Every structure is written in C-alpha cells, then in structure tokens.
Structure 1
C-alpha cells in the first residue's frame, strides 16, 4: 500500500511539473507575441494603408527608404538602407516628424504614448517605438521587415504615428542594449526619416 501511495504521489509530481512547464511556455509565448518581431515572409500580410519614408544620413544624403503599412497584425515596417557601418545598430520610432541634420535631435525622444521606460528587457518597459536592432552586413547594407502591434497608421488614435507632428524612424550608431532608459545606450543618431 505504501509503495502504491509513493508511486502515485511521484506520478502526480511529474504531471504537475509538466503542466507548470507547459503553462510557463504558453505565458512566455503570449509575452513574446507583443514584442515587435522581424519577419521574412511578407506574403500573408494584407495591407490597408501605407506611408513611404526616405532615410537620410547626417550629411543630408539619402541612404535608404522604408515603407510602413497597416496590416491586420499591426504596422509592418520594410526598411532598406545602405552606406552605414557594419554591425548592430539601435533602431526606433521617435515622437516627432523632423529630421534636422546633423544630430537629428529634432525627432525628439522615442514614441511613447503610454509613458513606459525603454527596452524589451526592462521590467518597466518598453516604449511603443522600440524596435529590434538592425544587423548591417559587411557591405554596409541592411534589409529588414518588422511588425509591431503597438503603433498604428490610423488617424485620431493615441498610438498613431500620423498625428499632427508626425513621427520618425531613427537609426543609432551602436546596438540597443534593450534595457537602459531612455534609449538603450545606443549612442548618436546616424540616420533619420520622417513619417508624414
């Protein structure tokens, strides 16, 4: 009888542990769904409206472009840029649609309509304008598509990128560490494009 009880209790512990792990994995998946993600397959994203953005460097030279499109899954940002240093660069949506060279400080801070802190790894974060880092090839080029559900191109909403002063896409000189407030210790702004 005692052996049966011990075996039953051990089986119960194993099943409980498996259930807890499954629940934890499910919760983590839900959290990850809310973080902007890079996507390679763009075929299944029906677009409703879009904005084209020209990207400039501090010398006022056009170095790339982006297209932002409203989709059922959020705003899809297709970015292509060249002539920037190889490596990892911070990449964000900023609150003001101004890109005055050479420092692009006119773009203001990160787009943050719900007043959070910065960074995907920050327990108090993250900004609606936080995006995954860009990984630039040795030839100085990058092409990346990201989808974020925290912003919209619909006018009149608090998280709209097309409010009265617009917004901007900004690339930084260094990688975003995803935790340091207010900008991930990503350094100077090296490229900017106005979202009108």
Structure 2
C-alpha cells in the first residue's frame, strides 16, 4: 500500500512542468486599457497579460488613421489630452536605448509598429521578455500609446514616431 501511494505521488509530480517562455501563467495577472483619441473617442483596446518570462502586450486599434504607427508602453498611467504628454516617456525600467534594432536596446515598452488598414483597424502583439506586471502596474501605472508616424525602431528615445495620437491607461483586472 505504501508503494502505491508513493507511485501515485510520483505520477502527480510528473504532470507538472516549467512553463515555456511566452506561455500564459495560470492565474497570472492581466491589465486592460481602453484606447482614446485626444477628443475622447474610443479607439480600441490594449491588454497586458503575465506570461512565463515576461508580459504579452496586445493592441487592437480602431478608428485610427491608416498607415504604420509607433506603438509603445509609456511610464505613467495618465492620458491627459490633447498631447498625452502626461504619460511620460517610454517604459524603460532597464535603462536601455530605444528600439529592437538599436544595439543597446530595446526599452521594455517598445512594441513593433502597428499597421492600420483603410478601415481604421490594426492589431499588434508581442511578448516582452523580462517585463513584469508589478513594474507595469507600479504606483503611477503605465499607458499604451499610438503615435502619428511609424517608429524607425532604432532612434533614441522614441524612434521618431511623432505626435501621440491615441492613449489608454492600463488597469488591473
């Protein structure tokens, strides 16, 4: 009987494994942001979800001008219109340079460009390894931003991506 219990315990332990980087963490934290233009019109939604090894960001835009736009997480959870400067600079807790093509980058808030179609809709998603939900949702929060122009993915501090045109504050839940 003792051997049967030990065998069952061993089988239970075999079923557990380390999560693969990028996999959703069961019971992991999540935050969402309603994206808004400077006039207050809703322009989509962003989500941040805890995954193994980092945070998965997804941005679903709508009613945004067609073309390529820089998409970044900014360091402060404020979106005061019209210019959204209250969101501060890019989220950069590791003090890196801007952009994945910069040898000293990227910021943890650097996402790929979002391509918006003629219908005003676009989606971009990426997992930022090393990012944490605790850092994202710190005392002053964070915001997701869409910029007017494409990000060149290298120029510090913002990739020459132009004006801030859509912003949303991440909220836990």
In the alignment, which of 95, 104, 124 is matched to residue 144 of structure 1? Answer: 124
Distance 1:97 1:146 in 2: 20
Specify every segment of 5 or more residues in structure 2 that has no aligned partner in the other structure, as ranges: 1-20
Shift of 1:46: 4.5
2:150 maps to 1:175? yes
- How far did residue 137 of structure 1 move? 1.1
Tell me the equivalent position of 1:184. Answer: 159
Which protein is bigger by CA-based radius of gyration? 1
Structure 2 counterpart of 1:49: 29
Aligned length: 150
Correspondence list, 1:1-196, <5 A: 45-47=24-26, 48-153=28-133, 155=134, 160-196=135-171
Q: Which runs of 4+ in 1 moved over 6 A?
A: none
> Equivalent residue for 1:8?
none
1:136-177 deviations in Å (ceiling 9; x for gaps): 111110123221113111x3xxxx101100011000000000
Structure with a larger share of its residues in helix: 1
The superposition leaves residues 61-111 of structure 1 with CA deviations (integer Å, 9 ceiling, x where unpaired) of 111112211111421122211111111100001110000011000000011
- In structure 1, stretches of 5+ residues that fail to align are 1-33, 35-41
Q: 2:62 touches 2:121 (CA, 8 Å); kept in 1?
A: yes
RMSD: 1.8
**TM-score, normalised to structure 2's length?**
0.81
Q: Deviations over 1:11-57 (max 9, x none)?
A: xxxxxxxxxxxxxxxxxxxxxxx9xxxxxxx9x63451211211001
SS of 1:106 mapped into structure 2: helix
CA deviation profile, 1:102-145 (whole Å, cap 9, x unmatched): 10000000111121211111122221111111011111101232
Highest RCO, 1 vs 2 (Cα 8 Å, sep ≥ 6)? 2
